[in-house]
Amino acid sequence: MKIKTRYNLTFTLLSSTIILFFAVTIYFLAAKNREKEYFSILKSEAIIKGNLYADEAITSSHIQDIYRQQENKNNLINVAIYDVNRHLLYQDQPITIPQDSIQSVWNSLQKNKNFKNKNKNKNKNKNKTKYSIGFPFQYDDKEYFIIASGQDIYGHQEMYQLRITLVIIALSAIILLYVLGHFLSKRLVRPIIEMSEEINKITAAHLDLRLKPLKHKDELNQLGEKFNLMLDRLENSFGAQKEFVAHISHELRTPLAAMITDLELAMDYNRTDKEYRDTIKRSLDDAKKIVTLSNNLLDLAKANYEPQEIGYMPVRVDEILLEAYQEIQTSHNKYSIQIEFETENSDDHLITVMGNPYLLKVACKNLIENACKFSENHKCIIKISDTPKMVKVAFMDTGMGISDEELDHIFTTFYRGKNQTHYSGYGIGLPLTKKILHQHNGKIKVETKLGSGSTFTLSIPHLSNI
Ligand code: ADP
CA angle 25-27-28, nearest 5°? 65
**Pocket residues for ligand 1 (CB within 6 Å)?**
366, 370-371, 374, 397, 399-402, 410, 415-417, 419-420, 425-430, 454
Q: What are φ and ψ of residue 258, in 5° steps?
A: -65, -45
* 362 C-alpha to ligand 1 centroid (Å): 15
d(Cα 225, Cα 221) in Å, to the nearest integer? 6
Give the whole-number percent of the chain exceeding pLDDT 70.
Answer: 92
pLDDT, residue 37, reads: 94
Q: Whose CA is nearest to atom 11 of ligand 1?
A: 416
pLDDT for res 268? 82
Mutate which of 408, 414, 416, 444 to test ligand 1's pocket (most atoms within 8 Å of Cβ)? 416
Task: Cite the beta strand spans of 260-416 per DSSP E.
Answer: 313-316, 336-341, 352-355, 379-386, 390-396
The CATH number that domain 309-465 falls under is 3.30.565.10
Distance (Å) from CA 369 to ligand 1 centroid = 9
Query: What mean pLDDT is reported for the chain?
Result: 87
Q: Which residues, listed in sequence order, are joined to residue 460 by a DSSP beta bridge?
A: 391
Q: Whose CA is nearest to atom 19 of ligand 1?
A: 370
CA 395 vs. chain centroid, Å, equals 47
Higher-confidence position of 447 and 78: 447
- Count other Cβ atoms within 10 Å, centred on residue 361: 20
- Mean pLDDT value across residues 95-119: 68
Q: For residue 424, which atom of ligand 1 is closest to its CA? A: 3
Map residue 164 onto helix, strand or coil: helix
Q: Model-level pTM?
A: 0.55
Of 7-11, 186-190, 253-257, 417-421, the poorest mean pLDDT is in: 417-421
Q: What angle do CA 307, 309, 311 make, to 5 degrees?
A: 85
Mean pLDDT on 354-365:
92
* Secondary element (H or E) of residue 34: helix 3-55
Q: Is the model's pLDDT at 17 over the cut of 90?
A: yes
Task: Name the closest-CA residue to atom 17, ligand 1.
Answer: 417
- Burial category of 61 from C-beta neighbours within 10 Å (exposed 0-12, middle 13-18, buried 19 and up): exposed
Q: How far apart, in Å, do the first and last CA atoms of the chain sit?
A: 50
Query: Residue 257 burial (CB < 10 Å; 0-12/13-18/19+)?
Result: exposed
Residue 411 CA: nearest ligand 1 atom is 6
Going from the Cα of 426 to the center of ligand 1, the distance in angstroms, rounded, reads: 9
pLDDT value, residue 352 = 94
SS3 category, 239: helix
- For the CA of 431, the nearest atom of ligand 1: 6
Lowest mean pLDDT among 92-96, 97-101, 190-194, 391-395: 97-101
d(CA 410, CA 415): 6
* Residue closest by Cα to atom 23 of ligand 1: 371
Distance CA 150, CA 121 (A): 12
Q: Whose Cα sits closest to atom 12 in ligand 1?
A: 410
Q: What is the atom index within ligand 1 of the atom nearest the CA of 418?
A: 16
Across 111-137, average pLDDT: 73
CATH topology assigned to domain 219-301:
Helix Hairpins (1.10.287)
Closest C-alpha among 138, 182, 155, 146 to residue 35: 155
The CA-atom distances, in angstroms, between 67 and each of 76, 78, 83, 327 are 8, 8, 21, 127
pLDDT-derived band at 328, boundaries 50, 70, 90 = very high
Q: How far is the CA of 416 from the centre of ligand 1 (A)?
A: 6
Determine the Cα–Cα distance for residues 21 and 29; give it in Å rounded to an integer.
Answer: 12
Q: For the segment 18-73, what is each residue's pLDDT rounded down to a tens digit? A: 999 999 999 999 999 999 999 999 999 999 989 988 888 788 888 888 887 776 66
Give me the mean pLDDT over the 349-357 stretch.
91
- Tell me which of 379, 409, 430, 437 to substitute to probe ligand 1's pocket, judged by most ligand atoms within 8 Å of the beta carbon: 430
Protein residue whose Cα sits closest to atom 14 of ligand 1: 416
Determine the distance separating the centroid of ligand 1 and the alpha carbon of 367, expressed in angstroms: 9
Q: What are the extents of the domains in the chain?
A: 3-161, 219-301, 309-465
324 pLDDT more than 90: yes
Query: Separation of 385 CA from ligand 1 center, angstroms?
Result: 24
pLDDT band at 374 (very low <50, low <70, confident <90, very high): very high
Q: Which atom of ligand 1 is nearest to the CA of 456?
A: 23
What's the farthest any 2 CA atoms get from each other in the chain?
A: 161
CATH architecture entry for 3-161: 2-Layer Sandwich (3.30)
Instruction: Evaluate if residue 123 carries a pLDDT over 70.
Output: no
Antiparallel, parallel or unpaired: β 352-355 and 336-341: unpaired
Atom number of ligand 1 nearest to Cα 415 = 10
